[in-house]
Chains A and B, each alone.
Chain A
Amino acid sequence: EAEVAQSPRYKITEKSQAVAFWCDPISGHATLYWYRQILGQGPELLVQFQDESVVDDSQLPKDRFSAERLKGVDSTLKIQPAELGDSAMYLCASSLEGRLGLAVKETQYFGPGTRLLVL
């Protein structure tokens, strides 16, 4: 069964360092999402890609976070410099279409996540 792949699974870093997370969506899925999940809360969307284009990055702290999906397949999320408050689970998800209004039932499939601890 196809899965969303993420690496690394765990990352410990010191504040002010740079970190990067990688996501490979399910093959053929046009839409890719990055979420941040703080302990005890639900995931919150950071950025959404449709193919290689960003369609929503309104919640992405752009002074330190960046995301790219250059060839419309896998994606990288970077934090530079990391801060203590960035400690969280970073989840990647993909869906087949995700185009606006195409289907409200379009399910997002999640990867195992990357747990980040900033010291």
Chain B
Amino acid sequence: AQKITQTQPGMFVQEKEAVTLDCTYDTSDPSYGLFWYKQPSSGEMIFLIYQGSYDQQNATEGRYSLNFQKARKSANLVISASQLGDSAMYFCAMREGGDDKIIFGKGTRLHILP
């Protein structure tokens, strides 16, 4: 079974609009961490934001926020006021407490339109 599911292969969003990238996860470990990475066409994976399973509040980093719904096992990334430079692949990832590995989803390609 997929540990990380990203159901949106691609999205087109108008510049300056907010965008939500979906991510659901599957784990039975009560301790886990969720990550979002951005991968522009250059190839480098850029860390964006982290959410821990025990964190009481949703994580925020500048224009990025994570809509964490633990009961639904959902960790959607919200980008406010999108910019042309946000066009990239976005990967949701998870590390379980009993494992060192970070498991990645298949990604969502985001296109920001001028």
Contact = CB atoms under 8 A, between A and B. Distances in A.
Nearest to A9: B43
Q: Please tell me the size bucket of the interface on A.
A: 20 to 34
A91 B45 contact: yes
A42 B104 contact: yes
Nearest to B37: A110
Interface residues of B, number: 29
B48 to A, nearest CB: 10
A105 B113 CA distance: 33
B44 A100 contact: no
A113 B43 contact: yes
A31 interface: yes
A56 B101 contact: yes
A45 interface: yes
Contacts of B53: 104
A104 B97 contact: yes
Interface string B82-97: 0000000001010111
A111 interface: yes
Interface of A: 31, 40-45, 48, 55-56, 89, 91, 93, 98-101, 104-113, 115
